[in-house]
């Protein structure tokens, strides 16, 4: 290894060590972990923002927060839900309580929940896309009287891929309409089958008066946003969370471009109308 002796200084590129204090398997390939640092924690994260998580010696990946716990303007506890799809995410998913993970952040834009005050709220999530909207659901339900009707529409590939099942039950009892669909039924599944936008007709909300938050695979977000707009939701009131290769979180590495956007800086959360014309260009 090309190692050089040198003095070191603190800085924005150096991850802050957080310790894994709790770990729960959500599905066969997805883990929710709680990270803690009581010494020098990071600035407060808002729902929709992401952190860069480092598995030391392996690499770093952008992961949204799946719950936000802020104390005194600092983030002492971070909750992340990670799906193992590559070397870094496999290492993160395998980190047992006591293990140390490096964290940088907060990065990116947050869900604009203020825009939904006094309005109906429609939250649509596909697969692991439920994780970045989970802190948003928490925020809405914690201040339930501020909003009109609240609908949460969730899709997964198969019943076994559904994350946060306990939460879905709890949220249904806490003032949200919760509907779930799967692409491919299996086992004793007797619920809805089909793509997420097919849940829209059964959700109760006033489209002309609603704000929508959508997170999932890009194709799912496109079709959902278009369906919402056809149903009468204003294009400016549909927010989506973009995904591109993000290697630094700070706009330094150039990887996360989508046309004029640097997704780590100008996103991940954007108004759909700002990017609709970009998402239809192949290989942009």
Partner 1 sequence: MASGTRPRTPPPALLDATALEALVDALRARGFTVMGPTVRDGAVVIAELTSAADLPYGVGVDTDAGRYRLRARDDRAAFGHSAGPQSWKNVLHPPRALVWSADRTPDGSMAGGEPARERRYALLGVRPCDLAAIKVLDRVLTGGRQADPVYTGRRDGNLIIAVECTEPGAVCFCSSMGTGPGTDDGFDLALTELVDGGEHLFVVRAGTGEGAEILAGLPARPADEGIVERAREAVGAAAGRMGRTMRPGSLPDLLAEARGSPHWDDVAARCLTCGNCTMVCPTCFCTTPEDVTDLTGDHAERWRRWDSCFDLDFSYLHGGSVRTSGRARYRQWLTHKLGTWHEQFGSSGCVGCGRCIAWCPAGIDLTREIDALAAAGAG
Residues that bind partner 1 (CB under 8 A): 1-4, 6-15, 17, 19, 54-60, 85-86, 98, 100, 102, 243-245, 247-248, 250-255, 257, 259-262, 265, 281-284
Distance, in Å, from the CA atom of 115 to the CA atom of 2, rounded to the nearest integer, reads 51
Secondary structure of residue 128 in the 3-state scheme: helix
* Nearest approach, Cβ of residue 151 and partner 1 (Å): 29
Annotated binding site for [2Fe-2S] cluster: 248, 253, 256, 264
In 3D, which of 122, 55, 50, 56 has the Cα closest to residue 79?
50
Pairwise CA distance, residues 139 & 33, whole Å:
20
CB of 113 to partner 1, least distance (A): 21
Residues contacting residue 164 through CB under 8 Å, at least 6 positions apart: 26, 81, 130, 131, 134
Cβ proximity to partner 1, 15 vs 119, nearer residue: 15
3-state secondary structure (DSSP) of residue 254: coil
Minimum Å gap between C-beta 2 and partner 1 is: 8
At residue 241, the 3 state secondary structure works out as strand
- How does 104-119 read in b/e, with b if 16+ C-beta sit within 10 Å? bbbbbbbbbbeebeeb
User: Which lies closer to partner 1 via its Cβ, residue 86 or residue 175?
Assistant: 86
Distances (CA, A) of 219 to 15, 42, 215: 33, 33, 10
| Minimum gap (Å) between residue 119 Cβ and partner 1 | 30
* Dihedral (Cα; 25, 31, 32, 35), 10-degree rounding: 120
DSSP helix/strand/coil, 180: strand
Q: Give the CA-trace dihedral at 134, 136, 139, 141, to 10 degrees.
A: -70
User: Nearer Cβ to partner 1, position 2 or 166?
Assistant: 2
Q: How far is the CB of 210 from partner 1 (least distance, A)?
A: 30
Question: Rounded to the nearest whole angstrom, what is the least distance from the CB of residue 259 to partner 1 in the complex?
Answer: 6
**Cα–Cα distance measured from residue 265 to residue 216, given in angstroms and rounded to the nearest whole number:** 19
Rounded least distance, CB 270 to partner 1, Å: 14
In terms of CB distance, is 149 or 183 closer to partner 1? 183
Is 120 or 243 the residue whose CB approaches partner 1 more closely?
Answer: 243
Considering the complex, state which of residue 1 and residue 142 has its C-beta at the smaller distance from partner 1.
1
Phi, psi of 270 (to 5 degrees): -135, 160
Residue 63 or 211 with smaller CB distance to partner 1: 63
Q: Which residues are annotated as a binding site?
A: 248, 253, 256, 264
């Amino acid at each position: 290894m090309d190692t050089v002796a040198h003095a070191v200084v603190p800085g924005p590129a150096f991850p802050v060590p957080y310790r894994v204090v709790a770990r729960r398997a959500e599905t066969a390939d997805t883990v929710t972990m709680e990270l803690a640092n009581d010494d020098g924690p990071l600035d407060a994260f808002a729902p929709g923002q992401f952190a860069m998580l480092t598995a030391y010696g392996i690499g770093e990946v952008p992961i949204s927060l799946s719950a936000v716990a802020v104390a005194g303007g600092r983030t002492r506890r971070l909750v992340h839900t990670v799906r193992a799809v590559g070397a870094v995410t496999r290492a993160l998913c395998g980190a047992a309580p006591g293990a140390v993970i490096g964290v940088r952040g907060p990065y990116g834009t947050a869900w604009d929940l203020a825009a939904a005050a006094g309005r109906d709220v429609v939250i649509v999530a596909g697969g692991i896309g439920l994780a970045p909207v989970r802190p948003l659901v928490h925020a809405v339900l914690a201040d339930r009287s501020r909003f009109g009707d609240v609908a949460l529409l969730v899709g997964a590939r198969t019943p076994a891929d559904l994350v946060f099942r306990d939460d879905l039950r709890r949220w249904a009892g806490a003032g949200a309409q919760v509907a779930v669909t799967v692409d491919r039924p299996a086992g004793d599944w007797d619920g809805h089958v089909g793509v997420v936008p097919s849940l829209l007709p059964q959700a109760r909300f006033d489209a002309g008066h609603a704000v929508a938050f959508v997170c999932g695979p890009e194709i799912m977000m496109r079709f959902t946003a278009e369906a919402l707009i056809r149903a009468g939701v204003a294009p400016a009131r549909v927010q989506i969370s973009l995904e591109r290769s993000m290697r630094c979180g700070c706009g330094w590495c150039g990887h996360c471009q989508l046309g004029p956007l640097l997704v780590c800086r100008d996103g991940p959360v954007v108004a759909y109308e700002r990017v609709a014309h970009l998402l239809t260009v192949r290989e942009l």
